[in-house]
Amino acid sequence: MKYVIATKEDIPSLFTMILEFAKFQKEPDGVENNPERMAEDWDTVTWIMALDENNKPCGYASFCYTYHTWKGKSAFLDDLYIRESYRGCGIGKGILDEVKAICINKGCIELRWLVSDWNHNAQDFYKNYGASITSKEYNCSLRL
């Protein structure tokens, strides 16, 4: 398995996986983004792609840097997605290790993300990775 920082040339593969992830998340019509917008916004997000031995994309993570006032410089993991046929092979851990290393190298104190309340496999994976999961806060969004 190979983990690489994606480039703009990877947008078609990434967008295909984003659509797959939306379907997995039970939100097949939820994607409003498109490849053109991804290209325009490219510098605001870091993308890590997992490639199999044939250089076929089998998963990705997207994250950006933020600031947590109580702790300092942080990162927010927006997506971590592994294609179904590759799950259970350690790819999620590999991608998360890459994201973690990049964030540490950039001086981040913390990596934060959300996990669906129904996705118990992901919750177990994150707990086994060492993350703490709390239900103290709710996810809020404001459409602009």
Phi-psi category of residue 96: left, alpha or beta, with phi > 0 → left and psi -120 to 50 → alpha? alpha
Tell me, what's the pLDDT at 7?
Answer: 98
Distance CA 97, CA 86 (A): 17
* Residue tagged active-site, from 3, 86, 126, 129: 126
Q: Give residue 109's domain range.
A: 2-129
Tell me, what's the pLDDT at 125?
Answer: 94
Tell me, what's the pLDDT at 138?
Answer: 75
Structural domain includes residue 91: yes
User: How would residue 135 be classed by pLDDT, with cut points 50, 70 and 90?
Assistant: confident
Structural domain includes residue 134: no
Span 58-113, pLDDT tens digits: 999 999 999 999 999 999 999 999 999 999 999 999 999 999 999 999 999 999 99
Tell me, what's the pLDDT at 99?
Answer: 98
Distance CA 99, CA 124 (A): 19
CA angle 10, 102, 19 (to 5 degrees): 35
CATH of residue 40's domain is 3.40.630.30
Span 3-52, pLDDT tens digits: 999 999 999 999 999 999 999 999 999 999 999 999 999 999 999 999 99
CB 59 within 8 A of CB 93: no
- Does the structure show a pLDDT above 90 at 142? no
Asked about 65 being catalytic, the answer comes back as: no
User: How would residue 139 be classed by pLDDT, with cut points 50, 70 and 90?
Assistant: confident
Lowest mean pLDDT segment, chosen from 44-58, 105-119, 124-138: 124-138
Distance CA 111, CA 98 (A): 12
Structural domain includes residue 138: no
Structural domain includes residue 60: yes
Work out how many domains the chain is built from and give that number. 1
Structural domain includes residue 88: yes
